[in-house]
Amino acid sequence: KPKWKHHTITYMIAKYTPDMKREDVEKSFQTALKMWSDATPLKFIKVNHGKADIVLSFARRTHGDFFPFDGPRGVLAHAFQPGEGMGGDVHFDEDETWTAGSQGYSLFAVAAHELGHSLGLTHSRDPSAIMYPNYRYRSSTQYSLSKDDVLGIQTLYG
């Protein structure tokens, strides 16, 4: 199972969404990353240019990989498992409405799920897990990883 060999992982926001304020995009990613770093020895460092392990961006339809997005709804985002180049990167479908509130899709909730993939996790059958395949709105305040998520991530980086 692919995983990051180093425990300090860099991330970069290559493109923002016009749906949200920049600081809300950054806060959504920061909160999602903190959930995973709280359950592991991993540390996440934001870099603003150059190389990064995890590159986060928004795109619609065909966008330079073999996984074109599908317009509104359906696929919301995808992430590549740990590795060189595109490994770890996350793409969010710009044809969705991204939000820090509750109208549209919660960028925090989707980022938390996608970053699980970026760290090496696959989908879970546990409906309470963030790695469950289907989206469920979660506000970033009263939200934590399920036992299944913690078990999964600690198997990789425990």
Ligand X SMILES: CC(C)C[C@H](C(=O)NO)C(=O)N[C@@H](CC(N)=O)C(=O)NCc1cccc(N)c1
- Catalytic positions are 114
> What does the alpha-carbon distance between residue 87 and residue 107 come to, in Å, rounded to a whole number?
21
- Cβ 123 to Zn ion shortest distance, Å: 6
134 near ligand X (CB under 6 A):
yes
- Cβ 133 to Zn ion shortest distance, Å: 6
Distances (CA, A) of 59 to 18, 62, 140: 11, 8, 24
Query: Using CB distances below 5 to 8 A depending on partner kind, what does residue 70 bind out of ligand X, Ca ion, Zn ion, none?
Result: Ca ion
Phi (first) and psi of residue 61, to 5 degrees: 50, -140
> What does the alpha-carbon distance between residue 78 and residue 108 come to, in Å, rounded to a whole number?
14
| Residues whose CB falls within 8 Å of the CB of residue 64, separated by 6 or more in sequence, listed in order | none
Query: Using CB distances below 5 to 8 A depending on partner kind, what does residue 147 bind out of Ca ion, ligand X, Zn ion, none?
Result: none
Contacting positions for Zn ion (CB under 5 A): 65, 67, 91
Site residues (vs ligand X, CB under 6 A): 75-79, 109-110, 113-114, 117, 130, 132-136
